[in-house]
Amino acid sequence: MAFTVFLTGVTGYIGGNAFDYIYQEHKGKGYRWLLLVRDEECGKKVKEVYPDVEFVYGTIQDSEVLEKAAAEADVVIDTADSADCVAAATAIAKGLKAGHGPERSAWWIHLSGTGILTYGDVKKGREGEAPLPEDEYFDVDGIDRLVNLPLDAWHKDVDQIAQDANSDSVFVAIICPCTIYDVGRGPVKRHSQQVPDMIRATLNEGYVPVIGNGLTEWDNVNVHDLGDLYLRLFNAIQNPELSKNPEVFGINGYFFARNGEHKWSDVAKQISEVTKRPIKSITMADNAKLKNGNITWGSNSKGVPQRAKKYLGWEAKGCPLSDTIAEACKVEADRLGLTL
């Protein structure tokens, strides 16, 4: 039986890019590619790029569909609203448990997000302030603290489902990216969310929104470096020294990825320069009323990536976030029929 890879979110930004990195490296090697898509129309777009893939039709709310596919698969890669959909994660975990045992192992590469690291700011009610030293996390040196964040931390409820799925036959790794940028390689969606949201809000509202004092900081990762991390983690499944190493696949298999760091106020300054719109300080309450508001602008997310380099040899090589903002502004303006 062919080694089966089941992926959700191929039409999305992260999932489409990750799949392309894995597929281009391994096409023609006998893998069975099984992709969740909403309907046949979505499938046609994907099939044009990847002619040998197979589909299961449905959404991440279709638990029976996910459970069956996970039971069939040797590898599950979930990227479709994966950080927040409890039902989907539960179905995948159930399917993996049902379909695997002592004679057949499975691997699950789960996508979370560093919104989980905003926990400190959220609990303290901080808005637009600089990060506190105690709210920086390390994915090797501080792994116990990281994987034991409280259940009310953003994304933690789903992370916990994935972590609890680890067993003698199911091996789980979690990729936890920060602000993602640059144009992806996926078949449908190729643009990110956080920075484009700020650009869209700027063009719609007539000003660049900055929350509070604008001192909040996030890490950022180029989408191509993230794709490379997915590929390296996928390749680790074929490496007997890594495939069942608990520091790669197991409770400790929690991976940050980072190219650089940014203050949201610095991003706002670049957007202001390109769009010729002024910067305006707003509150989180104001932000919630914006059509394209994003709560992440008002909090801090700081995670130091150590694990990917230590165990997978991963290094960030892509262009920095600042190099992509001008073009991102032009893309969003074009979508709105505006000229900058």
Query: For 170-177, what is the mean pLDDT?
Result: 99
C-alpha 208/C-alpha 201 separation (Å) is 7
C-alpha 252/C-alpha 58 separation (Å) is 32
C-alpha 95/C-alpha 72 separation (Å) is 8
Is 98 a residue whose pLDDT tops 90? yes
DSSP 185-232: --SS----SHHHHHHHHHHHHSSEEEETTS--EEEEEEHHHHHHHHHH
Sheet of 4-8: strand order equals 54-57, 32-37, 4-8, 75-78, 106-111, 170-177, 254-257
Query: For 126-140, what is the mean pLDDT?
Result: 98
Is 1 a residue whose pLDDT tops 80? no
DSSP 83-96: TT-HHHHHHHHHHH
pLDDT digits (tens, 9 = 90+) for 275-324: 999 999 999 999 999 999 999 999 999 999 999 999 999 999 999 999 99
Per-residue pLDDT at 197: 98
pLDDT digits (tens, 9 = 90+) for 48-92: 999 999 999 999 999 999 999 999 999 999 999 999 999 999 999
Model confidence, pTM:
0.97
- The rounded mean pLDDT for the chain is 98
Decide: 304 and 136 in contact? Cβ < 8 Å: yes
C-alpha 28/C-alpha 103 separation (Å) is 26
Per-residue pLDDT at 2: 86
How many percent of the chain have pLDDT more than 70?
100
Per-residue pLDDT at 14: 99
Query: For 247-260, what is the mean pLDDT?
Result: 98
Which residue ranges form the domains of the chain, and what is each CATH number?
A: 4-185+221-258+301-317 (3.40.50.720)
Per-residue pLDDT at 203: 98
User: How does residue 15 score in pLDDT terms, banded at 50, 70 and 90?
Assistant: very high
